Amino acid sequence: MACRHESDTTAPFPGKREHPMHILITGGCGFLGVRLARTLLAGGPLALAGAPARAIARITLADRVPPPADLQADARVQFVPGDLCEQVDNGALPLARADALFHLAAAVSGECEADFDLGMRSNLNATRMLLQACRHAGHAPVFVFSSSVAVFGGSPEQPLPAVIEDSTLPTPQSSYGIQKFIGEQLVADFSRKGFVQGRSVRLMTVSVRPGRPNGAASGFLSGMLREPLAGERARCPVAPETPVALASPGNTVAGIIRAASASAAEWRVRTAVNLPALTTTVREMAQALEHVAGRATSALIDWEPDAQIAKIVTSWPSRIHAARAQSLGLSADPSFDAILRSYLRENPQAHQWPRQ
């Protein structure tokens, strides 16, 4: 197996020239981490923070579970197993060599509501510890923090505006959203002090995610499509007219990479960037499923309300005007039909629907 454990620190970087590029991804063996690693490895030289592009010599994936076989077989990939807070505390992460750190590891929204301590440890403590470790490493790496649209939330006392702008004040209504917003502020302050080159990006709900369900309150926005396409029933816990802001996996990873490559002049200010979002409704998502895969497939959706999930999801914004992201060359997915067809092309083994 070519994938190295962190203890293998004497092995040379392949193709070493003046300064090999080393990238660290926390949560690197999760869905987005794996997609990010594959995209970076396939993409050729990478420019960080406006600097000249360089070839990627090593990607270190930090996670509790091992990477998939294709990444294990890549000699450029290194795997560091374990709990993230413990990894930082015991010095297991190669932060002194990292040119860029993509911090994707997190406990998700539903988990944070069910277990307050888990969210505080995974989302707040881990982020603070990583930033401190980068500070002590002393070379100001690019630090891309995956925040969330959940930093925005509406309440009867302070309703959301009709459209979220880059200047809209975050008012999170969940532990997850609050933890992510605090993380953004930590990244901004460590950037102000020159300890890191921080880039916080607010991710939209990613759909369609392959694999099994996770503990996110928004997980049904993939499950209501993924499971019926595989011939299984799926539950939709919100009303059909519920509006949502979505992004495809490919668009999400493109936004994360663009954040890392943006120069200081392009990034402009230290606050987080809202990534572009496609605004649609849950009903329109079900209609897209029927349009693409037929009525028998969309009939596998069970419309069963869950007040707790609905309260979380409906507190999030659904209309985003992402002007800063657009200035970086990013745009929303064109339609949910396009997102769904992309999922089918990329995951032919995950559905029973006969391809036309």
Residues labelled catalytic: 176
Cα distance between residue 26 and residue 148, in whole Å:
16
For residue 245, what is the enclosing H or E element?
A: strand 243-247
Q: Of the candidates 66, 27, 23, 17, which has an alpha carbon nearest to the alpha carbon of residue 43?
A: 23
What angle (nearest 5°) sits at the alpha carbon of residue 207, between those of residues 336 and 168? 90
Burial 33-55 (b: 16+ CB within 10 A, else e): bbbbbbebbeeeebebbeeeebe
3 state DSSP class of 316: coil
Evaluate whether 66 touches 29 at the Cβ level (below 8 Å).
yes
Give the alpha-carbon dihedral of 261, 41, 101, 75, to 10 degrees. Answer: -150
Question: Are 196 and 167 spatial neighbours (Cβ–Cβ below 8 Å)?
Answer: no
End-to-end CA distance of the chain: 38
How far, in Å, CA of 342 to CA of 336, rounded?
Answer: 10
Closest Cα partner for 210 from 193, 192, 223? 223
The amino acid at 236: C
Q: Are 102 and 147 in contact (CB under 8 A)?
A: no
State how far the Cα of 159 lies from the Cα of 186, in Å rounded to an integer.
26
